[in-house]
Amino acid sequence: MSAEWKLNPKTTALVLIDLQNAILGRETSPYTASEVVERSHAMAEAFRSKGALVVYVRVPLSDFLSLPTDEPVILPKDLPAAASEIAEAAAMQSGDLLISKRHWGAFAQTPLESELRSRGIATVVLAGIATNMGVESTLRQGTGLGFAFVTVEDACSTFSPEMQNFAFKAIFPRLSHVRTTQQVLEAIA
């Protein structure tokens, strides 16, 4: 990584995946959900202070797209609406953009691409839960649309250290720059 590596707040957005009540209640590894939220919050504050766009993505669990798969997602029928809301600890602000998705990736059948393009965004800094599901799906979809990505390793987490390691060693370096929260904070400063 170059010592000159910087993020332009006019053309960079922070996109935070699934920091919602139901997801944050799950056990994650190698980082706890609270660690991911804390680091995401620090980046969001830094981005806002520079006038950069902050985007929160959530999935309304009562409207999750059911597809024919070998291991379908089976959600309880009686999930409270609050399960789909961005967690208070994630500290979403009134000027932030909220995107609702129906499946794993944040670009499929949502206004995310048009919202980013209309603001001149070329680079997306990506973090959230779960690394191998919502984060990876968003990364794959977004690179296919021509966006540059920075994936924040210590602000993502999943369900085992092995899953995290595979994503950040074998997949993400081929689709994005991989950085830490501290590196992102220094680059946006």
Mean pLDDT by 10 residues, the chain (189 residues): 80 97 92 97 98 95 72 72 88 96 93 98 98 97 98 97 97 98 96
Consecutive H or E run containing 128: strand 123-129
| For the chain, domain boundaries | 15-63+83-188
The predicted structure's pLDDT at residue 33: 96
Contact status, residue 45 vs residue 86, Cβ threshold 8 Å: no
- Among 3.90.1200.10, 3.40.50.2300, 3.40.50.850, 3.40.50.150, name the CATH number for the domain at 15-63+83-188: 3.40.50.850
Question: What tokens does 34 get?
Answer: 């609270």
Please give the structure tokens belonging to residue 117.
Answer: 């393009």
Copy the structure tokens of residue 104.
Answer: 């794993």
Look at residue 65 in the predicted model and tell me its pLDDT.
66
Q: What is the pLDDT of residue 157?
A: 98
The whole-number pLDDT of residue 63 equals 72
Burial class (CB in 10 A: 0-12, 13-18, 19+), 124: buried
Distance CA 17, CA 104 (A): 10
State which amino acid sits at residue 108.
A
Tokens of 87: 């967690």
pTM: 0.93
Residue 1 is predicted with a pLDDT of 45
**Rounded CA separation 112/109 (Å):** 9
